[in-house]
């Protein structure tokens, strides 16, 4: 299994590539475990439930046209296509899968920071459709 340094993620939200401002990116993907244990079972048993996913990003803030704030601010409370992959160079492949989903831009803090800090903002994307994984 290959290892790599996480310093080249690809992030596109609402059709805008924000990779060059991205500080951190995470994609969470899970399935509910519904307890279907019955009398007489000696061990808990679970039935697969609904899947859930979400994306969280941290960006260096930029108010310039086509950048972080002008992209994210109007998307709050709306759905948009969101794409992330661990490596931006080399394109989509079996070793660099593309994860895409229709997401609800749930939260965004347009102003954040302390004295002497770089201005960083975070955004949370909740699922509004299925998550797909592409390798080509």
53 in a domain, yes or no? no
> What global pTM score does this model have?
0.87
Q: Which residues pair with 17 in a beta bridge?
A: 12
The pLDDT, as a whole number, for residue 1 is: 41
45 in a domain, yes or no? no
How is residue 95 written in tokens? 């070793």
49 in a domain, yes or no? no
68 in a domain, yes or no? yes
71 in a domain, yes or no? yes
With a pLDDT cut of 90, the percent of the chain lying above it is 84
Beta strands in 2-88 (DSSP E): 10-13, 16-17, 22-35, 46-60, 79-85
How many distinct structural domains can be found in the chain?
Answer: 1
Determine the structural domain holding residue 111 and report its residue range: 10-24+58-134
The pLDDT, as a whole number, for residue 60 is: 97
Mean local confidence (pLDDT), 17-40: 96
């Amino acid at each position: 299994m290959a290892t790599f340094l996480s310093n080249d993620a690809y992030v596109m939200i609402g059709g805008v590539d924000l990779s060059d401002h991205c500080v951190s990116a995470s994609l969470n993907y899970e399935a509910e475990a519904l307890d279907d244990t019955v009398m007489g079972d000696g061990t808990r048993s679970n039935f697969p439930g609904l899947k859930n996913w979400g994306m969280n990003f941290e960006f260096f803030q930029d108010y310039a046209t086509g950048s972080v704030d002008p992209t994210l601010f109007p998307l709050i409370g709306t759905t948009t296509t969101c794409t992330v992959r661990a490596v931006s160079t080399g394109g989509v492949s079996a070793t660099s899968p593309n994860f895409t989903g229709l997401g609800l831009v749930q939260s965004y803090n347009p102003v954040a920071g302390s004295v002497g800090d770089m201005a960083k903002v975070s955004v949370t994307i909740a699922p509004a459709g299925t998550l797909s994984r592409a390798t080509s």
